[in-house]
Amino acid sequence: MAQGSNSNDAFFGSAMQFMQAGQNMTQQFMDYLGKAGNPAAAVPPAVDPQALTALQKQFMDQQMSLWQSVLTRQQGQGDSFKVSPEPGDRRFSASEWRDSPIYDYLHQAYLLNTQYLKELVEVIPAEDTKAKNRMRFLARQVADAMAPSNFAATNPEFIQRALDTKGQSITDGINNLIKDFEKGRISMTDESVFEVGGNIANTEGAVVFENELMQLIQYTPLTPKVGTRPLLVVPPCINKFYIMDLQPENSLIRFMVEQGNTVFLVSWRNPQEDHGHLTWDDYLEHGPIAALHVVQDICKVKQVNALGFCVGGTILTSALGVLKARGEDIVASLTLLTTLLDFSDTGEIGLFIDEQGLAAREASIGQGGLLPARDLANTFSFLRANDLVWNYVTGNYLKGQKPQAFDLLYWNSDSTNLPGPFACWYMRNLYNDNSLRVAGKLEMCGTKLDLGTLDMPVYLLATREDHIVPWQSAYQSTRILGGKIRFVLGASGHIAGVINPASKNKRSYWTNDDVKSDAEGWLTAAAEQKGSWWNDWAAWLKPLAGDLRAPRKPGNTKYKPIEPAPGRYVKERAV
């Protein structure tokens, strides 16, 4: 950039514009807060004038320091003031953001604006913790959406790639946008690479039972001997089960079979319009309860082991409470992976659920209809908007790139609908009212539920960075269930913490046999173990699997194989 007065004047003008951008961002957030963050309020909550004045002065001083620092860099005097992204933020890692003083200043000014917005949230009074967290979430959404990396005119990587490709990247980006518009969602991976039942979800087995709501898969044994007590797996119904069976090297299902278990799995149907009447009770009766009885019959046993993942764990545990009230003691051991039974703190998911929104949902789909897959997918994506939304906006549309093939993101894009009555009951009674933890408060399938009567041994896994099921909330299950509990805390998040293959033995997990203290006390006394929690769980389950016997083929004379795994239900796409 030239050193003349005209250039400096232009640069000074840019600095002033981005200081103003910070103020504009603040005003947009305050307006948004008044409409969305606090719908009952006509104006945003009152702010302490002194605190706000001090914050604004600090912001202006930092912006001036940044402007002067970039000017001195132009003159070869080095940087006296720098603003760095938060750890893990890769939006401005490319050299183009630093090669030009304009873009160097632009992205740092944006980071200052974002920092100012976050600090502003902290000085705004809130009615309670949930209201404050809602403001924090909304502020992050506004800040993420306004990043200069999201717009062609302010993204130097877009400009450089357009020059390098002689404009082809712009054409490719437009074509990518048109294709995604036709699909109704942002492409996160090259979907042409994967096939359910082909190169993912290909652990060998057969569907041995099906009803309107689910198929039951029995997997083919992989060991010369198996335990007499089978294992039933209940995955979440808000996405496809094959997150647990992506490819052989990272398949939790295959690992279970390799440990000598006869493994059965509930494959939930992707509900379509004619399934919009299904209720929470239907999911219990025709899901785990039906599956448990079939597994008993096929394996000729009185008890089985059971495992539930996420909301699958909530459904499974509820079903076991119903069976217990009926006098049926079918499950010998229970494993719950990142599961909520106490919904006191539901993380950012809970910010989407309030009385006003619930009433609207109940009025529209509570008696019938679907909660569309796209609504669920958008909700989960915007919990990590920079990684799962804006990253692909810039890559697909600005840079004209084709997303790389990644099995996890293929699964993430294969969304599911939910029946309206089921979804509304779940959100009302569990997320909003937190009634599952209270003995006798909820009635399911005609019985009052008391999870404290479940006295089988339990393996509870939570993950330390889980933004969907906060680990402290998962720990509260130790206060609800009546059996002996082993609580294990895995590293990483909701998916990566669970799908942590034993063969790679990465990350770590924490153990502590004493679950009498609160969550933080448990962690303080816990010991860190290197590697995957899978091996710890396998060792825990082994003595509960019964005596060894020769394996049998899937099904029996009553329940004959219907079709090969993974079955047709999991292949149904949301429309």
Instruction: Give the DSSP H or E segment for 510.
Output: strand 508-511
Closest C-alpha to 430, from 314, 559, 285: 314
Q: CA-CA distances (angstroms) from residue 554 to 197, 267, 290, 316, 488?
A: 18, 16, 17, 23, 32
Closest C-alpha to 117, from 205, 30, 20: 30
| Neighbouring C-alpha atoms within 13 Å toward the C-beta of 295 | 31
Closest C-alpha to 394, from 84, 120, 186, 128: 186
Question: Exactly one of 237, 299, 310, 445 is catalytic; which is it?
Answer: 310
Instruction: Give the DSSP H or E segment for 60.
Output: helix 49-74
Instruction: Give the DSSP H or E segment for 28.
Output: helix 5-32
CB-based contacts of 506: which residues, under 8 Å, 6+ apart? 500, 531, 532
| 310 a catalytic residue | yes
Instruction: Report the C-alpha gap between 160 and 111 in whole angstroms.
Output: 22
| Neighbouring C-alpha atoms within 13 Å toward the C-beta of 337 | 23
Closest C-alpha to 533, from 257, 338, 341: 338
Question: What is the b/e burial string over 364-376, where b = at least 16 CB atoms within 10 angstroms of the residue's CB?
Answer: ebbeebbbbbebb
Instruction: Report the C-alpha gap between 359 and 347 in whole angstroms.
Output: 21
Q: CA-CA distances (angstroms) from residue 468 to 134, 343, 350, 462, 495?
A: 15, 11, 9, 11, 10
Q: Tell me the sheet residues that pair with 308.
A: 234, 336
- In degrees and rounded to multiples of 5, residue 564 shows phi and psi of -65, 150
Q: Quick one: how far is CA 521 from the chain centroid? A: 26
What are the percentages of helix, strand and coil residues in the chain, rounded to 5? 50, 15, 40
**Residue count of the chain:** 575
Instruction: Spell out where 95-242 has E strands.
Output: 205-210, 214-219, 226-227, 231-234
Using DSSP's 3-state secondary structure scheme, residue 454 falls into: coil
Q: Are 391 and 184 in contact (CB under 8 A)?
A: no
Using DSSP's 3-state secondary structure scheme, residue 201 falls into: coil
DSSP state of 511: E
Residues recognised as catalytic: 310
